[in-house]
Structure 1
Amino acid sequence: MKRVAIVGYFLEVNSFSPVTTEAGFRALCHLTGDEVAEELRKEASVLPLEVTAFARALDELESWEPVPISVLAATPGGPVEQAFYDTWLADVRRRLEAAGPLDGIYVANHGAGAATQDLDSDGTLYALVRDVVGPGVPIVATLDLHANVSERMVDMADVMITYRTNPHVDQRERAEEAARAMVELWAGVRPETAFIRLPICPPSITLLTSEGPYADLIRFGQEARDERILNVSIFGNFTFSDLPKNGITVLVTARGDRAAAQALCLRIAEKGWAERHRYQRDLTSIDDAVAGARARSDDATIPPRIYADVADNPGSGGSGRNVSLLEALHAAGATGVVCGVFHDPALAAEAHSLGEGATFEAVFNRDREDEFVKRFSAPARVLKLHDGTVVGRRGNRRGRIMPHGPSCLLELGGICVAVSSNRLQTYDPAQFEMFGVDVAEARTVVVKSRGHFRAGFDEFFPPDRIDEIDAPGLSSPVLSRFPFRHLPRPVYPLDEGAMWAPPAW
């Protein structure tokens, strides 16, 4: 019976966001040993989806014993506090050393991590695992397609497999692919990997996989595979991490044939570089968004639309507390509007203390103000209260628990606002439906999200009824607004004259 250790670490770092502490992981997923084992077999789990999917896939392929080590996951934010990360790494090392002989390691990893004093925290984790198990034990990893891939990560892992969908809805399939890869390595396949990082750091909204340059690049890579190629992974990178290892990265793993891996990797990279100018996107101004919402308020024949507040996406390190768009819609008297999910624990707590039906002056951000978080107040009524625990029904969060903490739905004139205690992006209609909101009845829906809402709300809003709003925030797609310090400059699109030369293999 094969014994496979399971280690998980999920943090997408926006270096311009506040530091991520232990509390951020405790709010979402912080499990060790038997706690992981207990969640592993649940139908609806707090574990990242690929962890449970890997276990179920390996059940079908091999007689094996899971050896759960530890799984951490937090909502995207700033670099992880170094002392906490070091303590966690020490615990992972201790548990791995105590686990006894292992036949494989599965690392479930976001890949866009950093610590306050370690710009390659993911690479540090991979190196630790390799140091403990030695060179002969296969390490297979699955990663988010926004991972920032370092040379150390590639050197330490045998196979690295990234998602192919954005919004991310293929975690199950990639976990199944990882399980099959593990079985191939046990059967004697020798992985040979080719790796190219391009000086392209695009805004995340240009990395959709239904259409556009990134979609075309992924499709090209998959169609060019043959029986020699074990995996093709194209990482879009997460530019807000602001790291030396940022950049669109092509990783091709072959079955014992390095030349085949290198040839395909180079073909994909050359196509990606040639099409770099396609990574551009127009945004909708707040004024135009408000005008559209007002028009829909007055004319029921105009189809409803969804507004993505992409610059304040908690899923990209945004605070979820920017009120610029809400305040403008409220001032204009827009009606039939549903907004959320705002992150404001103090406001949610006040609503719970007052009770459903209560009217009061709702003060957003009373306990915090900064460049992108401003106070806003308006007369409000508490429409609905909820404990905030809901299971997603569509897209990225289908079947997964979303812990919002004590939450409420407030009515501000013609606007309904969902407010939560925990900071989560808006993935799924269930985040409004838990309050009894019928999304189909809304004239305008505003979501704190960059892209994952597309897979959850597509039953109401096809792509031609989506607007990405140019509001202020820590995840604005307008990259020139950020004081980058560590990106590998020159880099496109920040530097039009960025250059790239193929590797001298």
Structure 2
Amino acid sequence: MQNKNPKRIGILGIYHESNTFLESLTNWEDFQNGHLLYGRSIVEEYRDAFHEIGGMVEVLEKEPDLEIVPLFYAEATPGGILSREAAARLFIEVKNSITESMPLDGLMVVPHGAGVSASYSDFDGHWLKMVRDMLGPELPIIGTIDPHCNLSDVMVEAVDALVAYKTNPHVDQRQVGMEAGRLMIGRIRGEIRPVMQAIQSQVAISIDLQHTESSPCKELYELSSEIGLRPKILSTSVVLGFPYADVPEMGTSFIAVADGDQWLAQKAVGELNEYIFKNHLEFLGGKTSIDQLPDEIRNVQKPVLLLDMGDNVGGGSPGDSTFLLELVESQPGQRSFMCINDPEAVRAIKKRGNVTGFTPLSIGGKTDSRHGNPVETEVELISLVNGKFSEKEPRHGGQVNFNMGETAIVKTKSGNTLMLTSLRTVPFSLQQLVHFNIDPTQFDVIVAKGVNAPLAAYQTVCKSIIRVNTPGVTCADMSNLRYQNRRKPLFPLDDLA
């Protein structure tokens, strides 16, 4: 029998990974081109998705004495910091959605954790505190975060518990959403009393070593899992950190949630912090330069996936770097695929109409000089498509629907296939190729503009993987980034000896 007075549990989120080294801003339009969802449309979008909201919905819907109250969810492709106007608009949406949905008995929150705005360097901390101030100190607020969060004290103080994804690529988001949902159920029923402790380490794990199935992260996560099985420990999280946000919180942190025992949670994060300090030299890694690539490619099984770390769209980069385009164009007899964000090139191709054969085109390198110069080449149009595709498998980010905008698929005279998009798109899904009749297995080389996130999709077809230390706003070598606000000391930028 349905409870006549069910407990009302809200769902609310703002999700943005902000790169402070970019000059461009993220505006309201970028959220419109991403995901702006209100009310039941949030549940409809993510109910069956491998996304944390889908996990929250799954466990909460099974409870007859609970009612899900979806409020507002906004997500934009990683990019520059949020403009003042975009941040203000988002705050208004948050306030209005809460006000209109009262009363609430609990709130599930979905921040990314690496948001920065022109007004607030700790954007996620600010909106979470705003929510806490509106709802009062007693109402339970429990949420998930991306492990690329730069965790702040304000975020921790604003909520009862946060749970980070435990995989990178992030393929466990739905399970983590379920974990957070169960914490809320236990808290609402008085079965548990979640208390959280967090600690910022003196280490920033190099982005290329943040693959959770490989050493040294694998061992760190195994220790976290072991601690999480101890009595009265409800959850443990490794927060890898986002190196492309120049904020005091940048770096690796740890979270532990215990059942009513602050000391136990503090002991757990202390143990993780001690481990990373003792083993910090393992978290630096070596880097493969562009000059080394021709020999590396020659000696590995094909197809080989080249990860363009300096133009990591999932880290906010423009997606139009040409360093690897120049390389693949210079290698005769090698079939390569590459996606480049270049709306100007798409417009030029569209303007030509039904021209057949190869015609000149300037590709990429249009954002700034840090990502290479435009490559002048000749291309033949294969197809013009609307750029929309969907993903139903568990992939990094957990999104279902993608939109590249109007997209031109072309072949160069060198025999390489290029996908030119009008909207920056993260390379998290093979459907980006397959949906448009591109067979990824036909290539010797596939270039993906990312570091670890593309692996969940591309490992299924690529026999070899090379992470390339390309220049750009997401370069893997942190010593090439000009930090002004980071904490000190912080390895590898400082010596911890």
- The aligned counterpart of 2:3 is none
SS at structure 2 position matched to 1:319: coil
Distance 1:25 1:215, change over 3 A: same
The question of whether the paired residues in 2 share the 8 Å contact of 1:336 and 1:442 is answered with yes
More moved, 187-196 vs 368-377:
368-377
Task: Encode CA deviations 1:61-109: one digit per residue, 9 max, x unaligned.
Answer: 4433222221111111111112221222122112212212101111111
Amino acid corresponding to residue 208 of structure 2 in structure 1: I
1:284 matched to 2:283? The reply is no
The separation in 1 between residues aligned to 2:154 and 2:109, in whole angstroms, is 15
Q: Which stretch shifts more, 429-438 or 447-456?
A: 429-438
Partner of 1:219: 222
Confirm whether residue 33 of structure 1 aligns to residue 39 of structure 2. yes
Aligned AA for 1:390? Answer: F
- The 4+ residue runs of structure 1 with deviation greater than 6 A are none
Distance 1:252 1:302 in 2: 42
**Deviations along 1:450-503, whole A, 9 cap, x unmatched?**
1111111111225xx1101122111111111111111102210011237xxxxx
Question: What secondary structure sits across from 1:224 in the alignment?
Answer: helix
For 1:191 and 1:116, the matched residues in 2 are separated by: 33
Equivalents in 2 of 1:453, 1:184: separation in Å?
A: 35
CA RMSD of aligned residues (A): 2.0
Does residue 415 of structure 1 match 2:420? no
> What's the CA shift string for 1:389-433, capped at 9, x where partnerless?
111254326771111111121111221111111111211222122
How far apart are residue 265 of structure 1 and its match? 1.6
Match in the other structure for 2:84: 82
2-structure distance, mates of 1:79, 1:139: 26
Q: Distance in 2 between matches of 1:232 and 1:158?
A: 14
Report the AA paired with residue 404 of structure 2: H
For 1:375-454, what aligned pairs fall within 5 Å after superposition?
375-394=374-393, 395-396=395-396, 400-412=400-412, 413-454=414-455
Q: Contact 2:345–2:363 at 8 Å: present in 1 too?
A: yes
Judged with a 3 Å threshold, the aligned counterparts in structure 2 of structure 1 residues 27 and 358 are, in CA distance, closer, same or farther, namely: farther
Moved more, 140-149 or 194-203: 194-203
Distance 1:221 1:368, change over 3 A: closer
Pairing of 1:253-272 with structure 2 (within 5 A)? 253-272=257-276
1:182 maps to a residue whose letter is M
Tell me what 2:170 maps to. 168
Q: Does 1:485 align with 2:484?
A: yes
Contact 1:385 1:435 (C-alpha < 8 Å) held by counterparts: no
Give the deviation of 1:376 after TM superposition.
Answer: 1.4
Cα deviation for residue 142 of structure 1 reads 0.4
CA distance change for structure 1 residues 40 and 212 in 2, over 3 Å: closer, same or farther?
closer
Aligned ranges for residues 60-75 of structure 1 at < 5 Å? 60-75=62-77
Gaps of 5+ in 1: 499-505
Deviation readout 1:90-144 (Å, 9 max, x if unpaired): 2211221221210111111111111112111101111111111111211011000
Per the alignment, residue 27 of structure 2 pairs with 21
SS of residue paired to 1:161: strand
Q: Aligned partners of 2:451 and 2:86: how far apart in 1?
A: 29
Q: Which amino acid aligns with 1:423?
A: R
Once residues 54 and 452 of structure 2 are traced to their aligned partners in structure 1, the CA distance between those partners, rounded to angstroms, is 24
- Mark the CA change 1:74 to 1:211 in structure 2 (over 3 Å): closer, same or farther: same
**d(CA) in 1 for partners of 2:15 and 2:404?**
18
Whole-angstrom distance in 2 between the partners of 1:469 and 1:40: 34
1:457 corresponding residue in structure 2: 458
1:436–1:220 CA distance, 2 compared to 1 (3 A): same
Asked if the contact 1:200/1:276 (under 8 Å) is kept, the reply is: yes
Of 230-239 and 91-100, the range deviating more from structure 2? 91-100
Instruction: After TM superposition, give the deviation of residue 60 of structure 1 in Å.
Output: 2.0
Moved more, 229-238 or 395-404: 395-404
Q: Could you tell me which amino acid in structure 2 is paired with residue 345 of structure 1?
A: P
Q: Given the alignment of the two structures, is residue 204 of structure 1 paired with residue 207 of structure 2, yes or no?
A: yes
Identity of aligned residues (%): 26
1:191-220 deviations in Å (ceiling 9; x for gaps): 222221112122221111002222211210
Question: Closer, same or farther in 2 for the Cα pair 1:229/1:365, shift >3 Å?
Answer: same
- Please identify, of 74-83 and 350-359, the stretch whose mean Cα deviation from structure 2 is larger: 350-359
Aligned residue for 2:349?
A: 351
Alpha-carbon displacement from aligned partner over 1:8-58 (angstroms, at most 9, x marks no partner): 1111111102211112111111223354355354x56xxx82123211221
Equivalent pair of 1:76/1:317 in contact (CA under 8 Å): yes
Q: What is the CA–CA distance in structure 1 between the aligned matches of 2:366 and 2:310, rounded to whole Å? A: 21
> How many Å separate the matches in 2 of 1:429 and 1:228?
41
Correspondence for 1:193 among 196, 199, 209 = 196
What does residue 5 of structure 1 align with?
10
Which range moves more in the overlay, 150-159 or 280-289? 280-289
Going from structure 1 to structure 2, the CA distance change for 1:165 and 1:248 (only over 3 Å counts) comes to same
SS where residue 262 of structure 1 aligns?
A: helix
User: How big is the shift at 1:175?
Assistant: 0.3
Aligned-partner Cα distance in 2 for 1:368–1:253:
43
Deviation at 1:317, TM superposition (A): 1.2
Q: Quick one: distance in 1 between partners of 2:143 and 2:415?
A: 47
Given that 1:61 and 1:180 are in contact with CA atoms closer than 8 Å, whether structure 2 keeps it comes out as no
CA–CA distance in 2 between the matches of 1:408 and 1:80?
A: 29
1:140 paired residue among 142, 150, 158: 142
Q: Distance in 2 between matches of 1:216 and 1:282?
A: 19
- Letter of the 1:242 partner, please give it: D
- Paired residues of 2:318 and 2:367 also in contact (CA < 8 A): no
Partner of 1:503: none
TM value normalised by structure 2: 0.93
Choose from 57, 60, 64 the match for 1:58.
Answer: 60
- The residue correspondences of 1:277-316 to structure 2 (distance < 5 A) are 277-293=281-297, 295=298, 303-316=302-315
Aligned length: 486
Name the CA shift for 1:388/1:215 in 2 (closer, same or farther; >3 Å). same
Retained in 1: the 8 A contact 2:322–2:365? no
How far, CA to CA, are the matches of 1:311 and 1:278 in structure 2? 22
- Matched residues in 1 for 2:41 and 2:112: separation? 20
C-alpha deviations, 1:136-189, integer Å up to 9, x for none?
Answer: 211011000110111111111001000000000000100000110000101222
